[in-house]
Structure 1
Amino acid sequence: MYLIKKSDYPYIRDWDTKVFSIPKIPRSSNGYPQSLKLILTALKENKPYSKPIELEGSKRKDTLERLYVFLRPTGIVEKRQNSKWEMSEEISKWLDSGDDLYLAAILNANIRFFSEILHILSKKPAQIQEIRGIAKNDYKLPWKEKSEILNRLGWLRDLKLVAYEDFSYTYSVTKLGEEFLSLVGYFDHEKIEVELDSTNNETEVPISQWALDLCVLTGEDKLLRKNGFGYLPGSVQVMHETVYDYLLLMANPTDITTINNYSYETYGIKNSSVNSLITTLSNLKFIERKTKTQYQTTSLGKMFPTSSFELDFACCVNYNCNFMFEILAELFQRNLSLKELSARGKISYDFSYKDQAELRKRIHILKNANLVQEIGADMYGLTNRGFNFYNLVKEHISVNSIEKSQDTNFQFEHENLSYLENCLKELRVASKDSSNPERFEKSLVAAFKLLGFKVEHLGGAGKTDILLNAPTAPKFAYSVTVDAKSTYHNVISENSIVFDNIIEHKKKHEANYAVIVGVSFQGKRLIDRAIDRDVVLIDVDSLSNLIKLHVEVPLKSDSYKKIFEQSGLVDLSVLEEDRKKITREGLLLQAIIECLSEQSSDPFTKGIVQAREIYLLLKNNQQFDYAPDLNEIEFMLQFLSSPLISVVGTAKEGYYALGSIDDAAQKFDFYLKACNRF
């Protein structure tokens, strides 16, 4: 029966706001409309949500709750705050009238690529591959599987709008389909190129306050963010909707068996994939474990849905994942290709993956939130909302963008990055560039120079890659062979290291120690062999930390000898005592200058004090683990009063300040710059 007038048809959403997926309800032997009628009738009759429903011709036994979750994105049903499901006014009208053409209008109003299929078939019959090709190339719907097209064709056939010819595997539009197409029209794919930014007229960013608060990240928050977003089933274009379906599923404590069954029946995924999914939702703070086998949606997860669902979801991802809103910072400067974004992620944010899948997930989330738009083939820029939102949160985003030179010496030019930062970032990226091993060697040359070593870049057959020499007198000097191992993988395998060659290099160069540097070393057998051959394994993270520690507290080459005297995995804790000694000396230097400066205005001492008096003044200073002794104080006074330093003066009666602590700082800074080669 077709009873409802065209004027009463539902409003058709803008293309950008339509949902990607058609409802994945079971298909009964009488077709999708009959399945939907039975499901909605059960809702109308207030049947328990936990009650499984059986449909003739289908083996699936979904609960009503689960089926309502499938229907929710289209707006057919909605879950109220009281956890009660309700039908939309339009779908209720269909249920009462039985007008299937009106049902088609409801689906078309809310779902992408529905009447558009009828338009394609109105030109000529087509096979599914042709329809899928148009969906991908013209409508920018990169579905990897045929299921979305097949599901739509199933609905269209059951609604009598499309016919299927078995022997030719082709679909064609029916007369009723042509009539329906004339009533509702279709979306012209050429408008996708013209109407890129649907947020042009926005003056305020639509976002929940709690989501905006999540954008304020502390230094510790940033360190805890992960590079990997994690696994979610289904299409990346609708991942926020997929997440919401699971949050509804786990609104109350839900057993893992139920979650496994739901996932298999909905997405066809195995239990191992469900475990990955649970990890992703837990990392996003959306669910939490309640018992050994039960999970429940957290208070954060229960914030959804919101009127600004997609943007709020993006804020949650940014809170937990590295290189998310940093993409906005990069695009704020200029439009970038996916390849350029990937390079900046690797170099500036330690966001490095063998493919671009993780980056594409972030791009899709940002596109769903209307912050980013595709302005060409794999070329991206900010939308009007993206610009407005970035200006709203930019003070909380660390911008580390640099342009990487094509020069093999990896010379970087960017005013916001120091030489040190560039070297550390290049070290990390080069360690994974197995196609260019010399790049890693050159990055290690720069790294060991930062530690103060004399460095020779050798390489070639029968030679070590790098030879280090301690910058001291020959009597106290030592040398180290360094073999660089770059790899495409996350760890260095045992098979990639020939220890006999390492020992041969050590003998050839008459070196005292041998080192292998790589991205990471794992495996008891590999470590045991390094111990047996007296070779130290230094991973990139440890070397980076060593350089950072050196910048904070510079040690001499005799201290670093303790690193190379080890074997097996490197242990940086051997430097702790030396670091404490230097730190203590720095504190004592500061305390003595401040003490003398304070005494300058003392009417009794008249600014001149002896070493013993300084000892009495400093012995209860809380900065020190234990009080400085007289010998330490006298040694520091001799240093500060030397002609070169000259920040402390000497007299017969004792010592006195020649300036404030700031004056002393300026002098030390001058000498630092004089010694700084970079």
Structure 2
Amino acid sequence: MKNNEYPENREWKQKAFGMPKLPSGDIGQDKVLYYILKMVKDGKSANTMLNIEGSNSTATLGRMCEWIRPIGLVNKEKQVWTLTELGEMVLERQDSCFSTAVFCSTIVFMGEILFYLQEPKNTQELLKIAEEYHLNWKTNSEIHNRIKWFRDVDMVRFEEYKLEYSLTQKGQEFLQQIEITMPSETEEEPDETLLETLLPMSEWASALKPATTEKKRMAIGYMPGKTADACITISAYLQLMNQSISIEEIREYSKVNYQIAVSSSNMFLSFLEKIGFVDRISKNMYVTSELGNTWLEKQSPVDLIACLDARYLFVYELLAELRKEPKNAKTLSIIAKVSYGFDRESIEETRKRLILLSAAKLIYSVTNDKYGLTARGEKLLDTFGIVAKESIKSFEIKKEENAGDCYNDSCESLITELRLSSKDSYNPNRFEKAIRAAFDFIGYDATWLGGSGKTDVLIKARTAPKLSYAVAVDAKSTQSGNVTEDQIDFDTLKDHRKLHHADYSAIVGCSFRGERLLNRCKEHKVALIDVDTLEQLIRNQVEIPLTGEDYKKIFEQTGIVDISVLDEARNRTERYGLLVDAIVGCLVNESKDEVTEGILTSREIYRTVRDDERFSINPNLDEIEDILKFLASPLIGCVGKNKDGYYAIGSLNEVAKKFQFYAKSCKRTS
């Protein structure tokens, strides 16, 4: 019989995927959980370090709260962590059975482990069973994390001589009081839209003119109630505002019906205004707009998606990404940042879109963390001709491949792979290879080494041996994305630098945290390059290419690098490009003049070019004469010279084609 005091089992798809990584120390994970909840209740700062006897964990209270939030024990409002009603209950009871019941009701393959341990099993056998639940874990860590909890609360024992786990008497009794999900209950639902012949979208919704990408917004923002019930919630508010109504009345309605604060009510009202469903007719008065009333007639989830796409980024494009292959929210949030205008990675915003698209039956859940496209979603893409960008490719880079060539036309694939692999801690080689490809793209001779006793990636500037320099690059992939001081062995970095005769050491990770880490890096002369910075270097190289000698300034730094040290070189290169354009443009325009007959001296060109508004500092005569000699050389040959001065040979377009030809020739021989 299920214990009625225990929380209701969430639907399998709504359960948390990972087990919180709670330290146990000498007291056990259950006691640590109560300790964390007590700190939250007492209002301790999120930056407070946990002091757990027998544990060397350096995690902060904020980090712990992030890990347990999916279970529903804590919430974060205005940057402050608070206990939920369930969290209050767990803290008040401090009962290991109740706490375990909370975990089993909110985390996949938790109580199910107890069910299968009615007969002793080892880790590999449990991992195999997890596959039946579509949990394709690559390592044993998720199994071990769950077993650790059960052992700490005396529900599972380990028979060391057999390397098997089995239930204790307490575990047997607890198992009888909880609900268990069987593999057959997790099977994907069939696509309900397979038999549809037409896309169920209103004609007015199909005809909506979307805003330009630059004007579309990223954040959909807050919605009262469940996001899946968005149509019901929006409908209720639009009917409330059918006639003009004050903001105070809207806030009161929100408080009574959704128990939300003024700030949350304001955010939702802002969303309704931005999507075009309500009009603000005075400082404090609102009314449902013409578009809002039109949508109200059917209250169609598909029509709502059309309205969202018209005003927000990455809606139809998300469907296009899923058309290529099923993806999870994490992957999609990275793609949204790299290729579709998001200013940051936001799993939260991506999940909102996934929930709304699921409610419209445009996508479906393939596994508990991946989504695929329905037949209805396919029809929508075909109707509007939406095609995904070539933003992510599966690649295994070998040493002899020229990674730069692979991404010359588009660097999005490389950046996306960098971001994904930086958090794939189970597969560190993946991040190392992506880093090798990144530095190869930038222009280095980059070699992936890896393995025990070696640096992960060795990069060398492509120049004369006497002038070249080498950097031993260490890759740090972490599931959380944060690299801290305790994850870095500075003595090993020093050994790598000596072994490879490297001039500099660098660490590449998703992001870096902790003042102690920065101090140690300065002490050991190590540069830190986060993924955001590496992405910017890649994009900058596409826009204005620099040399290895220019990039040397990056590795001469310690701690988190500042790429503004490259501004001088970038400005110089950009200036030369503008000078070429200005000088050739001046001579081409002069070709039509009957008096000069298209021939100008360097001084005459100077007088014209100096007034070009594109130059913050006026070009000098020496610069102009250097550029003229270059353009008049046999190599370029787009400017001619005689005793009277210089003249154009061909148009600007012909000059550009010649530069492109030489660029292609360099690629073929590199």
Aligned pair in 2 of structure 1 residues 573, 360: CA closer, same or farther (>3 Å)? closer
Q: Residues of 1 paired with 2:427 and 2:553: CA distance?
A: 31
State the partner residue of 1:196: 193
Residue 664 (structure 1) shift: 1.1
Partner of 2:201: 205
Letter in 2 for 1:541: D
Indicate how the Cα distance of structure 1 residues 478 and 279 shifts in structure 2: closer, same or farther if over 3 A, else same.
Answer: farther
Q: Which of 205, 210, 218 pairs up with 1:215?
A: 210
Partner of 2:565: 574
CA–CA separation in structure 1 for the residues paired with 2:366 and 2:452: 49
3-state SS of 1:580 partner? helix
User: Which of 601, 618, 629 is the equivalent residue of 2:620?
Assistant: 629
- The structural deviation recorded for 1:582 is 1.0
Q: Is the 8 A contact 2:529 2:561 kept in 1?
A: yes
Contact 1:344/1:402 (CA < 8 Å) preserved in 2?
A: no
CA displacement 1:475-505 (0-9 Å, x = unmatched): 4322222111111113223322233333333
Whole-angstrom CA distance in 1 between matches of 2:576 and 2:298: 59
Pairing of 1:389-538 with structure 2 (within 5 A): 389-391=380-382, 393-394=384-385, 399-401=388-390, 404-405=393-394, 407=396, 418=409, 420-538=411-529
Give the distance between the partners of 2:192 and 2:459, measured in 1 at CA. Answer: 60
SS of the aligned residue for 2:475 comes to: strand
- What is the alpha-carbon distance in structure 1 between the residues aligned to residue 474 and residue 191 of structure 2? 55
- In structure 1, what residue type is equivalent to 2:447? E
Q: Using a 3 Å threshold, how does the CA distance of structure 1 residues 247 and 348 change in structure 2: closer, same or farther?
A: closer
Q: How does 1:342-357 map to 2 (within 5 A)?
A: 346=334, 350=338
- Return the offset for 1:443: 0.7
Q: Is the 8 A contact 2:327 2:372 kept in 1?
A: yes
**1:169 aligns to what?**
none
The partner residue of 1:252 within 246, 265, 280 is 246
In the alignment, is the contact (CA less than 8 A) between 2:218 and 2:313 conserved in 1? yes
> Which stretch shows the higher mean deviation, 236-245 or 509-518?
236-245
**Counterpart secondary structure, 2:411:** helix
Alpha carbons of structure 1 residues 539 and 356: separation in structure 2 relative to 1, 3 Å: closer
Provide the residue aligned with 2:41 in structure 1: none
Q: Distance in 2 between matches of 1:494 and 1:194?
A: 48
CA distance, structure 1, for counterparts of residue 415 and residue 636 of structure 2: 33
Whole-angstrom distance in 2 between the partners of 1:194 and 1:604: 76
SS of the residue corresponding to residue 536 of structure 1 reads strand
Residue correspondences, number: 464
Q: Is the 8 A contact 2:527 2:555 kept in 1?
A: yes
Judging changes above 3 Å, is the alpha-carbon distance between structure 1 residues 548 and 295 closer, same or farther for their aligned structure 2 residues?
farther
- In the alignment, which residue of structure 2 is the partner of 1:7? none
Distance 1:301 1:519, change over 3 A: farther
On the 8 A contact 1:467/1:480 being kept in 2, the answer is yes
Aligned match for 1:225, one of 218, 229, 236: 218
After superposition, the Cα gap between the structure-2 partners of 1:469 and 1:417, relative to the gap in structure 1 and judged at 3 Å, is: closer
Cα 1:357–1:656 change in 2 (3 A) is: closer
Match of 1:305, SS state, is: helix
CA contact (8 A) 1:452 1:557 kept: yes
Shift of 1:526: 2.7
The separation in 2 between residues aligned to 1:568 and 1:260, in whole angstroms, is 48
Once structures 1 and 2 are overlaid, which stretch shifts more, 485-494 or 275-284?
Answer: 275-284
Distance 1:338 1:573, change over 3 A: closer
Offset at residue 363 of structure 1 (A): 4.2
Asked if structure 2 preserves the Cα contact closer than 8 Å seen for 1:641 and 1:648, the reply is: yes
**Cross-structure match for 2:582:** 591
Q: Give 3-state SS (helix, strand or coil) of 2:447's partner.
A: strand
User: Which deviates more, 474-483 or 543-552?
Assistant: 474-483
How many angstroms does 1:313 deviate by? 2.9
**Aligned 1:604-643 pairs, distance under 5 A:** 604-643=595-634
CA contact (8 A) 1:371 1:383 kept: yes
Aligned-residue Cα RMSD (Å) equals: 4.5
8 Å contact kept, 1:317–1:324: yes
Residues of 1 paired with 2:489 and 2:388: CA distance?
Answer: 41
Q: Sequence identity of aligned pairs in percent? A: 37
Q: Structure 1 residues 231, 504: CA separation in 2 closer, same or farther (over 3 Å shift)? A: farther
Distance 1:620 1:381 in 2: 56
Q: Which residue number corresponds to residue 655 of structure 1?
A: 646
Tell whether the 8 Å contact from 1:450 to 1:547 is kept in structure 2 after alignment.
Answer: yes
Superposed displacement of residue 387, structure 1 = 5.5
Q: What is the aligned partner in structure 1 of residue 662 from structure 2?
A: 671
- Once residues 421 and 452 of structure 1 are traced to their aligned partners in structure 2, the CA distance between those partners, rounded to angstroms, is 17
Task: Give 3-state SS (helix, strand or coil) of 1:628's partner.
Answer: coil
Q: Is contact 2:450-2:457 (8 Å) kept?
A: yes
Give the drift of 1:441.
Answer: 0.8
Q: TM-score, normalised by structure 1?
A: 0.58
Q: Which amino acid aligns with 1:619?
A: R
Change over 3 Å in CA distance of 1:627–1:415 after alignment to 2? closer
- Any idea what the Cα deviations from partners look like across 1:427-449, whole Å, max 9, x if unmatched? 11111111111111111111111
**SS of equivalent to 2:508:** strand
Q: Any conservation in 2 of the 1:348–1:401 contact (CA below 8 Å)?
A: no
In structure 2, give the amino acid aligned to 1:483.
D
* Residue 494 to residue 619, structure 1, CA distance change in 2 (3 Å): same
Taking the TM superposition and a 5 Å limit, the aligned residue runs for 1:235-246 are: 235-245=226-236
The Cα of 1:321 is off from its aligned counterpart by 5.7
* Structure 2 alignment gaps of length 5 or more: 1-188
Question: Partner letter of residue 611 of structure 2?
Answer: N
Cα distance change of structure 1 residues 629 and 518 upon mapping to structure 2, 3 Å threshold: same
Tell me, which stretches of 5 or more residues in structure 1 are unaligned?
1-191, 265-269
Cα deviation for residue 509 of structure 1 reads: 3.1
Per-residue deviation, residues 32-88 of structure 1 (Å, max 9, x unmatched): xxxxxxxxxxxxxxxxxxxxxxxxxxxxxxxxxxxxxxxxxxxxxxxxxxxxxxxxx
Q: Provide the C-alpha distance between the structure 2 equivalents of 1:477 and 1:194, rounded to a whole number of angstroms.
A: 59
- CA drift of 1:379 comes to 7.4
- What's the offset of the Cα at 1:561? 1.5
Q: For residues 476 and 305 of structure 1, do their structure 2 counterparts lie closer, same or farther at Cα, with a shift above 3 Å needed?
A: same
> How many Å apart are 1:546 and its aligned residue?
1.0
Q: Check 1:259–1:506 CA distance in 2 against 1; reply closer, same or farther (3 A cut).
A: farther
Measured against aligned partners, the alpha-carbon deviations of 1:109-164 in whole angstroms (never above 9, x if no partner) come to xxxxxxxxxxxxxxxxxxxxxxxxxxxxxxxxxxxxxxxxxxxxxxxxxxxxxxxx
Counterpart Cα distance in 2 of 1:617 and 1:583: 19
How many Å apart are 1:655 and its aligned residue?
1.9
Query: What secondary structure does 1:676 align onto?
Result: helix
Q: Does structure 1 retain, via aligned residues, the 8 Å contact 2:432–2:448?
A: yes
1:371-400 per-position Cα deviation (integer Å, ceiling 9, x unaligned) = 45789998754455x566445544xx5621
Q: Distance in 1 between matches of 2:492 and 2:407?
A: 42
The CA distance in 1 between the partners of 2:346 and 2:598, in whole Å, is 67
What letter corresponds to residue 546 of structure 1 in structure 2?
Answer: L
Summarize the Cα distance change of 1:556–1:338 in structure 2 as closer, same or farther, 3 Å threshold: closer
Q: Which has the larger radius of gyration?
A: 1
For residues 34-183 of structure 1, what are the structure 2 equivalents within 5 Å? none
Contact kept? 1:493, 1:521, Cα under 8 Å:
yes
Alignment CA distance shift 1:497-1:670 (3 Å): same
- SS at 2:246 equivalent: coil
